[in-house]
Structure 1
Amino acid sequence: MKLLPPALYAALRANHVARGKRLRQGVDRFDPVPLLRLFNPIGAAIWLATEIDEDGVLFGLADLGFGCPELGYFSLEELQSIRLPFGLRIEHDGSFVGCHPLSVYARVATRVGSLLEVERRLHEAAALKGER
């Protein structure tokens, strides 16, 4: 099962290349908007990713649902290999559109302890903004 459509894979690779280029130029700040959201359809685990390297290792924010979201690296191959009850697997959220840099998601998720709560609050704020 493929979690990444080709165009999304290419965009994630482009971010990885851009990060490397900026680091070589001495710019240590690279804070793109997440391009990918993966989730456990029967649990609270969510992964947001901004880039993928040539070995299929993603960088982003992982929240396994235990109250301690973390920035770091995770393997696409490992996520694709997870077998859940009822024949389910980790899924790609095709409707996800990142609206803030990854650091914003990470900062708020660390404060509130849950990426699900961050998404709920962002959705609520967007709805309130639309009412004005």
Structure 2
Amino acid sequence: MSNTRPSLTLTLLQAREAAMAFFRPLLNQHGLTEQQWRIVRILRQQGELESHQLARQACILKPSMTGVLGRLERDGLVRRWKSPQDQRRVYVNLTEKGQQCFVSMSDGMESNYQKIQAQFGEEKLQQLLGLLNELKQVKP
């Protein structure tokens, strides 16, 4: 059997699952999927975005994005509208209910980050985030 390199992509997925174990219970309490929470969080941080920009930032494929946004809109958390100048451009922003959703989850999310930091260490967590941000800049 040959010596194979450890799988970067598998290790990243496993680390993501370990981190998400802290956050899923809170998402479930609020009736949100991981994708929905990513959208709420990004819109809270960035403000209004075109749907394709939002899809890219949230790492959601465009076909899936339509369904996720539809459910968020149905639940009153986001609002979508087409540009009057170009009907192909769809914009999305948080509604007041969406803003309230983010605020109501913030303390719980911060508590989960604190739990991770307590186990992993603040310095290592900052180093990891820095390395992951550098990895995002690597181009094929």
Same fold (TM over 0.5): no
Q: Which has the larger radius of gyration?
A: 2
Higher strand share: 1
TM-score (norm 2): 0.22
